Amino acid sequence: MLEIADLSVRYGKHTALDGINATVGAGEMVAILGANGAGKSSLLGAVGGRVKPASGTIRYKGADLLALPQHQLVEEGIALVPEGRGIFPAMSVEDNLSLGALPRRAQAGAAQRRDEVFALFPKLAQRRAQVAGTMSGGEQQMVAIGRALMSAPDLLLLDEPSLGLAPIVAQELFAALGRIRAGGLTVMIVEQNAAATLALADRAYLLEAGRIIGAGPAAQLRNDPAVAAAFLGGAPAA
C-alpha cells in the first residue's frame, strides 16, 4: 500500500530524515520507533502531506503520493492523527466526529461509521455532547482517532497516540488500537512506547537520528537484546 524510497527531509541545514526506505502492506500495522527528535513525525508528516521531502519517493497504492495536493490525500483514504491530536476544542465530541466525515468518500455510510466509532470508544458515546476541549487527555485522543476513522481511511497514520497518557489510559488506548488492527485497517504508528507498540504491530522500523537502524517483525524485535537495550529500557520483553 505504501512504498517509501530513499526519502530525505531537511529543515534548512538540518537533515531530519536521511535516505529512508520503508513499506507498509495492505492490512499491516507497521510501527516506527525512535527517541525524541529521531524524525518520526517528519516521516509520518511526509506520508500525510504535511512535510515536503527534499528528495525520494512515496508511492501509495502504486501512485506517486508526492504529486498529490495535501487536501486530496484524505479523499485518497489517508488519515493523519497528528502529535497533539488537533481536535476542535470548542466543539462537541459529536461535531468533531461529523467534521471527520466531510470528505466526499466518507459521506455515504457516515452514520454507520459513527456507530462503529462509538462501539470502539464507548466513552465517546456517553460524552457525545461534551465540549471536546474539556475531555481528559485520553478521551481527546479517542476523539482525534475517532474523527480520523470517520473519514473512511484506507491508511491510518498515528503520531504518538499514547503521549502524555497515564499508563492505564495508554493501555486502554492500545487495546482499542488492537481492535482497529483486527478490523483489517492498514496502520502506520509512530511511538516511543516501544513495548506496547511491539506487542501490537506486525513489523517495526527503528529510527535513530533520521536513519533506519533496524527493522523486522515485531515479535522478533521484542526479543532482540540490542533493541531491548535501546528501546525497551534494558530487558527483553517477556
CB of 40 to Mg ion, least distance (A): 5
Dihedral angle sign, alpha carbons of residues 83, 81, 175, 203: negative
Residue 186, beta-bridge partner list: 155
d(CA 176, CA 178): 5
d(CA 138, CA 183): 22
Amino acid, single-letter form, for residue 113: R
CB of 211 to ligand ATP, least distance (A): 12
CB of 230 to ligand ATP, least distance (A): 14
- Annotate each residue in 42-81 with x if it binds ligand ATP (CB under 6 A) or - if it does not, as one string: x---------------------------------------
Which of 21-29, 83-91, 124-132, 224-232 is the region at the interface with Mg ion (rule: CB under 5 A)?
83-91
Task: Between 42 and 197, name the residue whose CB sits nearer to ligand ATP.
Answer: 42
- Asked if residue 162 binds Mg ion (CB under 5 A), the reply is no
Which of 39-47, 54-62, 134-142, 220-228 is the region at the interface with ligand ATP (rule: CB under 6 A)?
39-47
Q: How many residues bind Mg ion (CB under 5 A)?
A: 3
Residues 6+ apart with CB under 8 A from 114: 97, 98, 101, 150
d(CA 238, CA 232): 11
- Asked if residue 13 binds ligand ATP (CB under 6 A), the reply is no
Among 2, 18, 29, 39, binds ligand ATP (CB under 6 A): 39
Q: How many residues bind ligand ATP (CB under 6 A)?
A: 12
Task: Between 38 and 188, name the residue whose CB sits nearer to ligand ATP.
Answer: 38
Map residue 63 onto helix, strand or coil. strand
- Asked if residue 41 binds Mg ion (CB under 5 A), the reply is yes
Helix axes 137-150, 110-120, angle to 10 degrees: 150
d(CA 197, CA 199): 5
Residue ranges in contact with ligand ATP by CB under 6 A: 11, 14, 16, 34, 36-42, 83
